[in-house]
Amino acid sequence: MESMLGVVVAKYNYWLYVVLMMIGFYAMIGKRNLVKKLLGMNIFQTAIILFFVSMGAKRGGGIPILDKEAALAGAVKVAEVVNPLPHVLMLTAIVVSVSVTGVALAVMQRIYKEYGTLEEDEILDKIGRS
Amino acid sequence: MKTLALLATILTGAILLYGTADFAPWGDPQSPPNRHLSTYYIEQAVKETHVPNLVTAVLGDYRGYDTMFELVVIYCAGMGVVAVLRRSDS
């Protein structure tokens, strides 16, 4: 039991990302409202971003903005600067996330104009009847 | 339907948590993602690009094309929104 707790504390960032991701996942597949599904997808993407950024963390590491003179002289210690690559990749992911959210909201607005509702089962009913 | 979704969620979460057993502990400077490629950028990026902010150096110099074509993504999304929301006369 002691070792189990140790494992959880040493990797609590992964537990947090799994919990967040499963909240988003449940909202995506369990809810019927389209806006709630979209919110779930955004939570899911945020969990991925948290996962990547937390992988690049280093205990005792500073921000990845270096002193230029020290860096040119080669005096930068790698262990004292956090990993900048996950941050860069997640900037790309944020761009994609914003684009997807925008298009999804536009499609939802169109669906609401057409069917007068954003509930999935009501929309399916209306499609089946016509 | 809701119970099925909850079951799928719990199952997926359990598999993901099982997968985290092989990951490196949090904040470990010697973990695999911190050891291989990023050391090169931290040591050489300022010498090669003269940008003190490493995130900006990688985003704007090493991955410049990627950043440029992100504009295409945004543009396509904007065109999609316009096409979906445009008032049609028919």
- pLDDT 10s digits, A4-26: 777 777 788 888 999 999 999 99
Q: Is residue B64 part of a domain?
A: yes
Residue A64 with chain B: CB contacts under 8 Å: 42, 53-55
Alpha-carbon distance A129 to nearest alpha carbon in chain B (angstroms): 22
The range of the structural domain enclosing residue B87 comes to: 53-90
Backbone φ, ψ for residue A56 (5° rounding): -85, 0
Q: How far apart are CA A129 and CA B15, in angstroms?
A: 41
Nearest residue in B to A85, CA atom: B38
Percentage of the residues of chain B whose pLDDT score is greater than 70? 97
Asked if A74's CB is within 8 angstroms of B13's CB, the reply is no
pLDDT score for A57: 85
Q: Which residues of B touch A43 (CB under 8 A)?
A: none
With 70 as the cut, is the pLDDT of residue A2 above it? no
- Confidence band, pLDDT 50/70/90 cuts, at residue A102: very high
C-alpha pair distances (Å), B26 with each of A28, A48, A118, B59, B76? 29, 16, 41, 25, 38
Interchain contact, A85 vs B50, CB within 8 Å: no
What is the Rg, in whole angstroms, of the alpha carbon atoms belonging to chain A?
22
**Residue A61 and residue A79 in contact, taking contact as beta carbons nearer than 8 Å:** yes
CB contact under 8 A, A99 and B74: yes
Number of independent structural domains in chain B: 1
Most confidently modeled range among A61-65, A114-118, B86-90: A114-118
More confident call, A35 vs A67:
A35
Residue B7 lies in a domain: no
- The CATH number of the structural domain formed by A2-129 is 1.10.287.3510
Q: Which residues numbered 41-100 in A keep a CB inside 8 Å of some CB on B?
A: 54-61, 64-68, 71-72, 74, 76, 78-79, 81, 83-88, 91-92, 95-96, 98-100
A67 pLDDT tier (thresholds 50, 70, 90) = confident
Average pLDDT over all residues of chain B: 88
pLDDT above 90: residue A108: yes
Domain borders along chain A are 2-129
For the ranges A24-28, B41-45, B50-54, the one whose mean pLDDT is highest: A24-28
Question: Buried (b) or exposed (e) across B11-41, using 16+ Cβ within 10 A?
Answer: ebbeebbeebeebbbbbbbebebbeeebeeb
**Does residue B82 sit within a domain?**
yes
pLDDT band at A106 (very low <50, low <70, confident <90, very high): very high
